[in-house]
Amino acid sequence: MELAGGPPDRRAPEASIREKTLNGKRLDRDEGRWLLTDAPLLELGALAQEVRFARIPDRAVTFVIDSNPNYTNVCVTDCQFCAFYRKPGDPEAYTLSVEEVLAKVEFAAKKGATTVLLQGGHNPALPLDYYTTLVSETRRRFPGVTPHFFTASEIQTVAQVSGLGVGEVLDRLWEAGQRTLPGGGAEVLSERVRRRIEPKKGGPGAWLEVHREAHRRGFKSTATMMYGHVEGPDDLLDHFDAIRDLQDLHGGFTAFVP
């Protein structure tokens, strides 16, 4: 297959990529770039399906009933793309009490949810006990619900407000009964992109540190990617590389959610 617009004798690396992928070998950066920029979409989807069938012979498809309530929209981070947040003191700002949040968890549980992904803004007025109580009470009152709470940047905010390290905050959440973290806030793990769209949230290392420390303690987590804004192919490749490198350490990621 010829690359569209390329010289007549230039061959796409499709066969090599297929062989590597089906045999569990790693793709290099050039191959990743080709997949992002030149690979025919239908052929790419067909390869993904082939890989899925090879890994899951019975072709089983699973899903989870999930709920995603927000406990506060108060935030001081000023991300360029966010229409959700309100500054402290804004008439539209809100923070739910522990009981109000638990009422939302109860509603989700009654509807059959087995996971609740709880997230909110970076609210400097909330103490660590607010977060740990949400976890422990969810575990106590709704044992069939997994508390999949608080993104990396929320945990960093809690650490700053409480004067503790990220690891100490994670330890407290673990003691309260939390075992998984959502992967939100990764956006694109590229210094260039994050400086442009969310300079107050820190570089890629900030998000990666929380997940690294979480995996070291036995937490499982997911990884996300928010694309379609100012990023280019190399920024996305930086993102994939960072997640793959961290996965090599502890195998803590259970899903990638673009």
Class of domain 66-257: alpha beta
Share of the chain above pLDDT 90, in %: 89
Per-domain boundaries in the chain: 1-62, 66-257
Over range 93-100, report the average pLDDT. 99
Residues 31-67 have pLDDT tens digits of 999 999 999 999 999 999 999 999 898 888 889 999 9
Residues 141-168 have pLDDT tens digits of 999 999 999 999 999 999 999 999 999 9
Over range 81-90, report the average pLDDT. 96
Which position has the higher pLDDT, 11 or 83? Answer: 83
Over range 168-174, report the average pLDDT. 99
In the predicted structure, residue 1 carries a pLDDT above the cut 60: no
pLDDT score recorded for residue 13: 84
| pLDDT band at residue 11 under the 50/70/90 scheme | low
pLDDT score recorded for residue 4: 47
Instruction: Give the number of C-alpha atoms closer than 13 A to the C-alpha of residue 104, restricted to the C-beta side.
Output: 18
Pairing of strands 115-118, 220-224: unpaired
C-alpha to C-alpha distance for 5 and 87, rounded to whole angstroms: 49
| DSSP class of 200 | G
3-state secondary structure string across 97-161: CHHHHHHHHHHHHHCCCCEEEEECCCCCCCCHHHHHHHHHHHHHHCCCCEEEECCHHHHHHHHHH
| pLDDT band at residue 137 under the 50/70/90 scheme | very high
Which position has the higher pLDDT, 220 or 24? Answer: 220
pLDDT score recorded for residue 243: 98
Interior angle at CA 229, CA 226 and CA 233, nearest 5: 80
Whole-model pTM: value is 0.91
pLDDT score recorded for residue 10: 47
C-alpha to C-alpha distance for 44 and 35, rounded to whole angstroms: 8
Name 102's bridge partners: none
pLDDT score recorded for residue 81: 95
pLDDT score recorded for residue 12: 64
In the predicted structure, residue 9 carries a pLDDT above the cut 70: no
In the predicted structure, residue 5 carries a pLDDT above the cut 60: no
Determine phi and psi for 193, rounding to 5 degrees. -65, -45
Over range 168-173, report the average pLDDT. 99
Q: Is 213 helix (H, G, I), strand (E, B) or coil?
A: helix
